[in-house]
Amino acid sequence: MTATTEPILEVTGLVKHYPLTQGVLFRKQVGAVKAVDGVDFTLGRGETLGIVGESGCGKSTVAKLLCSLERPTAGSILFKGEDITRLSGRALKAVRRNIQMVFQDPYTSLNPRMTVGDIVGEPYDIHPEVAPKGDRRRRVQELLDVVGLNPEYVNRYPHQFSGGQRQRIGIARGLALRPEVIVADEPVSALDVSVQAQVVNLLDRLQAEFDLSYVFIAHDLSVVRHISDRVGVMYLGRIVEIGRDAEIYDHPTHPYTQALLSAVPVPDPEAREHRERIILTGDVPSPTNIPSGCRFRTRCWKAQERCAREVPALAVPAAFRDASGPAAHDSACHFAAERQVVPAEGEHGNGPG
């Protein structure tokens, strides 16, 4: 699925396999953890792409690859047209400055022994060219102000702040080098629901103010809804469906997305009554042992023999190709257009009921 504006990131065939070893002395490789196993997407300038999926599906690994904190096993990441996966030295440093990460847990990602001023200003130690020493304190105070914290707090320590305030500190730090892209890995998952919206709103405001492009990662489709222009759904190391937010929320065509959406609470009792509940059974298979063909088939109520043989491509399903309606977005399912539910056997997923 192409971005809605000129692309700032173009990710193609991204793979990260961690070797699985046995024994302490000889560390024989016995397999691989396929954390990311063929991910494609583009991020447009000024756009927010939400990425959602269950625990362990590879979201944080994608985030680390985008921020050059890990090197991919295969695939490419173009930043403004240049492949950044093979850079080293100064070129790598320059790119890292431009693509910054905001971490999930503000309780563990901030060093408790550093003052807020040192935490927010630390990126300038690595990139002194951005802020000369004498200018740092002023810059840090400006950053605190930008994220809605009192600039006078520079000498306080993380434990003196609430969870939401700590996440603001993490965001200020992420902004210090004036990046063009921010990869936010579950930035609100560790926060109280009442605080989540404030942090999401802050990110929204900063995006407009600093012309930022976001990859916003979450567990849950409801969290990314308000901030995302497009949403990608991950399952076991791959994106299985991606599209504009109305396409994904109102016309999901992949059975996994349909199941995730059916689990999102619906406030309206009437709508709730008419909704199909899809309960997924079975566990997510291990990323060391990914099913053949469609990786979702072991939990899918639509699965057929073909699904074990053929890997479905992430593309607009043939049946929707000519229509330009909301169903016409990329979905990696052989039976995306089939409405009727095929009863599954054995440990396959349950149908709607």
Calpha distance 184→228 (Å, rounded): 12
Question: How many Cβ atoms from other residues are within 10 Å of residue 80's Cβ?
Answer: 15
Instruction: Tell me whether residue 17 or residue 136 sits nearer to ligand ATP (CB atom).
Output: 17
Q: Name beta bridge partners: 10.
A: 42, 78
**Residue 33 interacts with which of Mg ion, ligand ATP, none, CB < 5 to 8 Å by class:** ligand ATP
**Which helix (DSSP H) or strand (DSSP E) does residue 52 occupy?**
strand 48-52
Q: Which helix (H) or strand (E) holds 22?
A: strand 7-22
Tokens (6 digits) for 347:
């440990």
Q: How far is the CB of 260 from ligand ATP (least distance, A)?
A: 13
Alpha helices in the chain (DSSP H): 59-66, 89-98, 116-121, 123-126, 136-146, 163-175, 193-210, 221-224, 245-250, 255-262, 269-274, 305-309
Cβ-based nearer residue to ligand ATP, 141 or 298? 298
Among 33, 212, 278, 332, binds ligand ATP (CB under 6 A): 33
Tokens of 25: 């002395």
Which residue's CB is nearer to ligand ATP, number 16 or number 136? Answer: 16
Cβ of residue 234: shortest distance to ligand ATP, in angstroms?
7
Report what 295 binds from Mg ion, ligand ATP, none; CB cut-off 5-8 Å by kind: none
CB of residue 136 to ligand ATP, shortest distance in Å: 33
- Token duo for residue 340: 């009727």
What is the maximum alpha-carbon separation in the chain?
Answer: 69
Q: Which positions from 253 through 292 interact with ligand ATP, judged by CB under 6 A?
A: 287
* CA-to-CA separations, 79 to 3, 6, 168, 182, in angstroms, rounded: 14, 11, 26, 13
| Nearest in space to 278 (alpha carbons), one of 291, 294, 262 | 262
Question: Is 66 strand, coil or helix?
Answer: helix
CA 196, distance to chain mean position in Å, is 17
Q: How far is the CB of 345 from ligand ATP (least distance, A)?
A: 28
Closest to Mg ion by CB, 169 vs 217, is: 217
Least distance (Å) between residue 217 CB and ligand ATP: 7
As a whole number of angstroms, the distance between CA 118 and CA 155 comes to: 8
The least distance separating ligand ATP from the CB of residue 93, rounded to whole angstroms, comes to 23
Q: Dihedral through CA 266, CA 268, CA 274, CA 275, nearest 10?
A: -10
Q: Please tell me the distance from the alpha carbon of residue 164 to that of residue 187, in angstroms, as a whole number.
A: 10
Q: How far is the CB of 59 from Mg ion (least distance, A)?
A: 5
Contacts of 338 (CB under 8 A, 6+ apart): 302
Site for ligand ATP in 219-248 (CB under 6 A): 219
Which option in Mg ion, ligand ATP, none does residue 340 bind, with CB closer than 5 to 8 A by kind? none
Based on the shown chain and the rule CB under 6 A, indicate whether residue 55 belongs to the binding site for ligand ATP.
yes
From the list ligand ATP, Mg ion, none, partner contacted by residue 232 (C-beta under 5 to 8 A by kind) = none
- Alpha carbon distance 147, 134 (integer Å): 22
Report the partner that residue 107 touches, choosing among ligand ATP, Mg ion, none (CB closer than 5 to 8 A by kind).
none
Ranges within 44-73 binding Mg ion (CB under 5 A): 59-60
CB nearer to Mg ion: give 60 or 213. Answer: 60
Quick check: 237 and 37 in contact, CB under 8 A? yes
Residue 35's binding partner among Mg ion, ligand ATP, none (Cβ under 5 to 8 angstroms by kind) is ligand ATP
Contact between 18 and ligand ATP per CB under 6 A: yes
211: left (phi over 0), alpha (psi -120 to 50) or beta: left
* Residues 60 to 79 in contact with ligand ATP, rule: CB under 6 A: 60-61
Cβ proximity to ligand ATP: between 17 and 166 the closer is 17
Least Cβ distance, residue 158 to ligand ATP (angstroms): 22
The entry of ligand ATP, Mg ion, none that residue 58 binds, CB within 5 to 8 Å by partner kind: ligand ATP
Q: Could you list the residues that contact Mg ion (CB under 5 A)?
A: 59-60
Which residues of this protein are in contact with ligand ATP, per CB under 6 A? 18, 33, 35, 53, 55-61, 219, 287
